[in-house]
Amino acid sequence: DIQMTQSPSSVFASVGDRVTITCRASQGIGSLLAWYQQKPGKAPNLLIYSASSLQSGVPSRFSGSGSGRDFTLTISSLQPEDFATYFCQQANSFPRTFGQGTKLEIK
């Protein structure tokens, strides 16, 4: 199975900050990576797929980059509604696997 490792596990930031979360795959996965946002008590919500494609309806302050083993999710200017937990997920092979999550908290 492909292991996905996110860093950091948690990050404190303020409204307006630029935040970057990283995800590393245990082997190369091309660009087959997604990012999800999850708020407490809710299901995950797809933000980015194929490493850098913005899902319909997702604000443009979210962006993704990377290929191979290393990927990043960037939020250009944090809004209050962005404080949540973020997960990466590889789609290169079955079983699909997720990172352990990065909790974005208010500073």
Partner 1 sequence: QVQLVESGGGVVQPGRSLRLSCAASGFTFSTFAMHWVRQSPGKGLEWLAFIWHDGNNIYYADSVKGRFTISRDNSKNTLYLQMNSLRAEDTAMYYCARDLGKGRYFDYWGRGTPVTVSS
CB-neighbour burial class of residue 9 (10 A; exposed 0-12, middle 13-18, buried 19+): exposed
Nearer to partner 1, 83 or 98 (CB): 98
Check: CB of residue 46 under 8 Å from CB of residue 52: no
The β-bridge partners of 37 are 45, 86
Chain positions contacting partner 1, by CB under 8 A: 1, 32, 34, 36, 42-46, 49, 55, 87, 89, 91, 94-101
- Phi, psi angles (nearest 5°) of residue 69: -115, -20
Judged by beta carbon, residue 17 or residue 65, the one nearer partner 1 is 65
User: With respect to partner 1, which residue has the nearer C-beta, 36 or 62?
Assistant: 36
Q: Give min distance, CB of 31 to partner 1, in A.
A: 11
CB of 25 to partner 1, least distance (A): 14
Smallest separation (angstroms) from partner 1 to the CB of 40: 12
Task: Find the largest Cα–Cα distance for the chain.
Answer: 38
